[in-house]
Amino acid sequence: MAVFNRLLATLLGLVLLAVGGTGLALGLGALGSGFTQLAPVPAAIEQLASAPSQNGLIGLALAGLLALLVGLVVLRAELRVPGQPRMADLHYSQSSAESGFGHGRTVVRAGGLEHGIRQSLQSLPAVVRAHAQLAGPSARPNLLIDLEMDAQTQLSTLKSEVGQAIERFRLTSGKQPSTEVQIRLVNARRPVN
């Protein structure tokens, strides 16, 4: 139901965006009077577009701008990814005294780390779908794992395999994440945390 509500609000935002853009264009006279013969519009808007008064144009432009702004706000709210802000990339520096070769810098992309964890979890035999997201500060990241599993899976075996994937992440990044794992069993009625 939440997906349907989100989709409905996104469509409403797109419609308001289109109505706002059209109203703004009509109010500014960008579409001209030929627009009324091409589009099925109410008689009041047709009369306003074909013989506009100065107050009517300003009102139409303001109404269009308001619908445009409301549409943008709704779209921004619905298309925003819920949860914590994503983790920034990791930057490692090495001074010339440590290496003996010169100053060096390594950047590890957070998206690459997420991809590695996701691939590691997706390769587990009972996993139908895996999603991993790194969030929070890069000094102490939060690792959010979402797994869809076969309902016949032994959770004790799964716990060990997920623990190994988290340990590989810790060794790769040098960071100890706080971890939240959510498991959805396929053909189950509610998620198991």
Give the contacts of 146 (CB within 8 A, at least 6 positions apart): 130, 131, 132, 182, 184
> CA dist 134 to 72, 98, 107, Å?
28, 30, 16
pLDDT (tens digit, 9 = 90+) per residue, 109-146?
Answer: 888 888 888 998 988 888 888 988 888 888 888 888 99
Report the pLDDT value the prediction gives residue 124, as an integer from 0 to 100.
85
Tell me the whole-structure pTM to 2 decimals.
0.50
pLDDT (tens digit, 9 = 90+) per residue, 139-176?
Answer: 888 888 998 888 777 888 888 888 988 898 888 888 88
At residue 86, the 3 state secondary structure works out as strand
129 phi/psi in degrees, rounded to 5: -150, 140
> For the chain, what is the radius of gyration of the CA atoms?
27
> CA dist 85 to 79, 82, 135, 142, Å?
14, 9, 6, 10
Confidence of residue 92 (pLDDT cuts 50, 70, 90): confident
d(CA 193, CA 186): 14
Which regions of the chain carry the CATH code 3.30.70.1350?
Answer: 90-185
Under CATH, what is the fold of the domain 90-185?
Alpha-Beta Plaits (3.30.70)
- With vertex at residue 37, the alpha carbon angle to CA 33 and CA 40, rounded to the nearest 5 degrees, is 115
Report the pLDDT value the prediction gives residue 82, as an integer from 0 to 100.
60
Report how far Cα 182 is from the mean position of its chain's Cα atoms.
Answer: 19
Instruction: Give the mean pLDDT of the chain.
Output: 75
d(CA 150, CA 148): 7
d(CA 88, CA 96): 25
